[in-house]
Amino acid sequence: MSPETANPSPRQTQLLEAAYQYALTHGLADLSLRPLAEAIGSSTRVLMFLFGNKDGLVRALLERGRADELALLARLRQADGPVGLALAADQVWTWLAADEHRPLLRLWAEAYTRSLVEPDGPWAGFAKATVDDWLDVLAACQPPSERDAEDGVIRRSLTLAVLRGALLDLLATDDERRVTAAVQRQLALLRREEGDES
């Protein structure tokens, strides 16, 4: 969290949450402060005062969305020891495939791609940070002997690639049955590999 938002006022928190709900519906690509302010019962002047400028607001919205993503990842970390990569990926996919998470995931996909094409904008570092977050959590789900091995790094990278690719496919096609079947096929192969090593 940036220094300006480390201790937000109740009003800033309220407006950020309202702006976040607006962004979940409308996205960030064409975000304009005037319609946003009107929709959330504020003014552009208040938003500029609280967030500095539009880029500051976008950064705050990305932090807010990332907090939802990190909450899922924190639940995976709370297991009583490493659950294994396949089980962790299965739990992640169940969450990713749930209809109620589509607005957040569309926002995530938008921020991820914007971070790649506008690396110096308010999206700066977003894509890399989310990759690092997910790889760290997947690593925590692996037994130490696998986690620290080169093959363990490759497996979690492959698992992340499958989940992210499947997520993009799901967001584009809304074909949950087909995409979930593909994810489950890949996870079955991963389970088989995990079984071979035990």
CA-based torsion, 134, 136, 141, 147: positive or negative: positive
pLDDT of residue 74: 78
Structural domain spans, the chain: 3-197
First to last CA, the chain: 41
Side chain identity at residue 122, one-letter code: P
Q: What string of pLDDT tens digits covers the 198 residues of the chain?
A: 444 456 788 989 999 999 999 999 999 888 899 999 999 999 999 999 999 999 999 999 999 988 888 887 777 766 676 788 999 999 999 999 999 999 999 999 999 999 999 888 898 999 999 999 999 989 999 999 999 999 999 999 999 999 999 999 999 999 999 999 999 999 999 999 877 665
Q: How far apart are CA 102 and CA 170, in angstroms?
A: 9
Q: What is the pTM of this model?
A: 0.84
Pick the CATH number of 3-197 from 1.10.357.10, 3.40.50.300, 2.40.100.10, 3.40.830.10: 1.10.357.10
pLDDT of residue 129: 93
Q: How far apart are CA 10 and CA 13, in angstroms?
A: 5
